[in-house]
C-alpha cells in the first residue's frame, strides 16, 4: 500500500481509474450522484471519493486493482435498499456500483438455471424467469430497486423462505472479484457439485466484505398453478405452534408462508385507511397461512379441508379462507401494511430478530414488560415470518424526539441474547447492527470471521468496518 498524502493520493487514484475505465464509468467531484451516498438505513448520506460504475467483470476487477494499488478502499453497491448501512460509503472510499452491469446472460430450461449479471434488479430477474415459464421465488418489497447481486451479498430473505429458503438456497454459482482484483469464476449450474470447497458460500451473506459478486447462476423453480390462503385468529400461542406443526404435516411442501401478527399489530393495522381486516380484534394471535399448489382442482379443496380439520381440533378461534387471488392479495395487504408504519406511527426503531419458535411468545411478553418498565407509554408491535423463526418488531415512544433508540435496542437485543436468538434474521449486520454482533455470536465465531476477512482482504480494501 503506497503511503502518499491523502489529497494527492485521491487525485492519483481518480486519474488512474479514469485512464483505465473512461469518464463515463468514473464519476468524481460534482459529477458524483447523490443516490450513491446512502442506502435505506437511517445513517444519512456519506459522499464517496468517486462513484465507479463498471459494466463488465473485467472493469470491476480493474477498478478493484487500481484502488488496492493506491490503498483506497472500495464499497460495493447494488440497489442501495439495504437497511443496515452495508452499502453506505465509508469516508475516503470509492463507491463501486454494479448498476450498469445488468442483464440476463442465459436461461437453461432443462437444468432450470439462469445466469445473470449482478446489477440486474430483482424484478427484471423475476420477469425474465416468468417469461421463460419459471419462478424466481425470492421476493421482497424493494424488488423494483434492489439488485440480485445485493440480494446475494446480504442473503436476502422475504416472505416465502419457509418453502424456498433464503437467497443462498437459490444460488448455484457465482463469479466474484476479490479484494486484490483477482476474479474467481465459479458459475456452476449443477445442483450437485462436491468437487472441492463450495466457495460461493463465503461470498453469500458476507455483505461485500470478502468479494464483489459480478455474476450469478440462479436455480429456477416451477411456477405454482394456484395459491390458497387463510387468515386465522388463534386462542393462544400454543395454538400457533400447533397450527404450524399441522401446516408442515398437512400441507407439506405446498406451505409457502406462515406469518403471525400479535394483537397490537392487528389493532394498529385495523385502524389504517385502505386496510380491510377481516377478523375482529381481541384474539391472542393472528396468522396468515399460504399454500401454493400445482392443480387448483385438487389443492383448493384440500386446503379448505385442512383448515376445517384445524378448526375441529380447536386450534382456530376464527378464520377466513381465500376464494380468489383477490382474496389472497387482500390478506397479504394486512401483513404488508407494515410498510406504512413510518407514516402511521411516526419515528420508531425497527427490528429483524430471530428466535426459536417455541420461545417467541415468551420473548414478546418479556419484551413488552421490559419496555413498559424502562419507557412508560412506549408502543411495540410484533409480527413476522414465524415459520422461519423470524420476528419483526417496531417499537418507539410516541412524540419523543429523538427516539430513545439506545434503551429500546438494549431491551430488544438484551432479551434476544437471553432467549438464544439472533440480532439479524434477514437484514444483515452492515454498520448499524455491528455493536450487537457479540450478543449472539461468540468470541470464537467472531475471531474466525476476522480470520477469513484477513485471509481474503489483508489490507482491508473491501467494505472496511462492515460486519466484523
Site for a second copy in 247-286 (CB under 8 A): 248-254
**466: contact with a second copy by CB under 8 A:** no
Q: How far is the CB of 352 from a second copy (least distance, A)?
A: 8
List the one residue from 89, 150, 293, 404 that touches a second copy (CB under 8 A): 293
* Of 39-47, 52-60, 74-82, 290-298: span binding a second copy (CB under 8 A): 290-298
Site for a second copy in 116-155 (CB under 8 A): 154-155
**385: contact with a second copy by CB under 8 A:** yes
| Residues ≥6 apart with Cβ < 8 Å to 233 | 279, 280, 283, 285, 286, 316, 317, 318, 319
**454: contact with a second copy by CB under 8 A:** yes
Q: How far is the CB of 407 from a second copy (least distance, A)?
A: 21
List the one residue from 204, 261, 367, 378 that touches a second copy (CB under 8 A): 204
Q: How far is the CB of 276 from a second copy (least distance, A)?
A: 29
List the one residue from 33, 109, 373, 377 that touches a second copy (CB under 8 A): 109
List the one residue from 10, 290, 327, 388 that touches a second copy (CB under 8 A): 388
**111: contact with a second copy by CB under 8 A:** yes
Binding-site size for a second copy (CB under 8 A) equals 99
**312: contact with a second copy by CB under 8 A:** no
Q: Write the interaction track for a second copy spanning residues 327-356; mark x where CB under 8 A is met and - where it is not.
A: ---------------------------xxx
Q: Write the interaction track for a second copy spanning residues 12-51; mark x where CB under 8 A is met and - where it is not.
A: ----------------------------------------
Q: Which is nearer to a second copy, 99 or 352 (CB)?
A: 352
**358: contact with a second copy by CB under 8 A:** yes
* Preceding peptide of 402 cis, ω within 30°: yes
* Of 5-13, 63-71, 240-248, 333-341: span binding a second copy (CB under 8 A): 240-248
**208: contact with a second copy by CB under 8 A:** no
Q: Which is nearer to a second copy, 26 or 68 (CB)?
A: 68
List the one residue from 170, 423, 461, 462 that touches a second copy (CB under 8 A): 423
Site for a second copy in 52-71 (CB under 8 A): none
Amino acid at each position: 500500500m503506497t503511503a502518499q498524502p491523502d489529497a494527492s493520493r485521491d487525485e492519483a487514484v481518480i486519474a488512474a481509474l479514469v485512464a483505465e475505465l473512461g469518464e463515463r464509468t468514473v464519476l468524481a467531484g460534482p459529477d458524483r450522484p447523490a443516490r450513491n451516498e446512502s442506502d435505506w438505513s437511517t445513517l444519512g448520506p456519506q459522499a464517496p471519493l468517486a462513484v465507479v460504475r463498471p459494466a463488465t467483470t473485467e472493469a470491476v476487477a480493474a477498478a478493484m486493482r487500481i484502488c488496492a494499488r493506491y490503498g483506497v478502499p472500495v464499497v460495493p453497491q447494488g440497489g442501495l435498499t439495504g437497511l443496515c448501512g452495508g452499502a453506505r460509503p465509508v469516508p475516503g472510499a470509492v463507491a463501486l456500483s454494479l448498476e450498469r452491469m445488468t442483464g440476463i446472460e442465459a436461461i437453461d430450461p432443462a437444468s432450470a438455471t439462469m445466469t445473470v449479471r449482478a446489477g440486474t434488479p430483482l424484478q427484471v430477474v423475476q420477469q425474465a424467469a416468468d417469461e421463460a415459464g419459471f419462478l424466481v421465488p425470492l421476493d421482497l418489497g424493494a424488488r423494483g430497486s434492489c439488485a440480485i447481486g445485493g440480494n446475494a451479498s446480504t442473503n436476502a430473505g422475504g416472505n416465502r423462505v419457509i418453502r424456498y429458503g433464503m437467497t443462498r438456497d437459490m444460488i448455484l454459482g457465482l463469479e466474484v472479484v476479490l479484494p486484490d482484483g483477482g476474479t474467481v469464476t465459479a458459475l456452476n449450474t449443477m445442483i450437485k457439485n462436491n468437487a472441492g470447497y463450495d466457495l460461493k458460500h463465503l461470498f453469500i451473506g458476507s455483505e461485500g466484505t470478502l468479494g464483489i459478486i459480478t455474476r450469478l447462476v440462479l436455480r429456477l423453480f416451477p411456477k405454482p398453478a394456484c395459491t390458497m390462503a387463510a387468515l386465522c385468529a388463534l386462542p393462544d400461542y400454543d395454538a400457533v405452534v400447533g397450527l404450524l406443526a399441522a401446516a408442515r404435516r398437512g400441507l407439506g411442501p405446498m406451505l409457502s408462508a406462515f406469518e403471525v401478527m400479535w394483537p397490537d399489530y392487528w389493532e394498529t393495522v385495523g385502524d389504517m385507511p385502505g386496510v380491510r381486516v377481516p377478523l375482529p380484534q381481541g384474539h391472542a394471535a393472528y396468522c396468515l397461512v399460504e399454500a401454493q399448489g400445482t392443480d387448483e382442482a385438487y389443492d383448493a379443496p384440500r386446503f379448505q379441508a385442512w383448515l376445517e380439520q384445524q378448526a375441529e381440533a380447536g386450534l382456530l378461534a376464527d378464520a377466513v379462507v381465500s376464494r380468489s387471488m383477490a382474496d389472497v392479495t387482500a390478506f397479504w395487504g394486512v401483513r404488508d401494511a407494515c410498510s406504512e408504519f413510518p407514516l402511521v406511527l411516526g419515528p420508531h426503531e425497527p427490528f429483524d430478530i430471530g428466535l426459536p419458535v417455541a420461545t417467541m411468545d415468551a420473548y414478546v411478553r418479556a419484551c413488552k414488560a421490559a419496555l413498559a418498565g424502562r419507557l412508560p407509554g412506549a408502543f411495540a408491535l410484533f409480527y413476522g415470518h414465524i415459520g422461519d423463526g423470524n420476528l419483526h418488531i417496531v417499537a418507539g415512544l410516541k412524540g419523543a424526539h429523538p427516539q430513545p433508540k439506545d434503551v429500546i435496542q438494549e431491551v430488544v437485543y438484551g432479551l434476544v441474547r437471553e432467549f438464544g436468538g439472533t440480532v439479524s434474521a434477514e437484514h444483515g449486520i452492515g454498520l448499524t447492527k455491528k455493536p450487537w454482533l457479540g450478543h449472539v455470536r461468540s468470541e470464537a465465531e467472531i475471531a474466525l470471521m476476522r480470520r477469513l476477512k484477513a485471509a481474503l482482504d489483508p489490507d482491508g480494501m473491501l467494505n472496511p468496518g462492515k460486519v466484523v
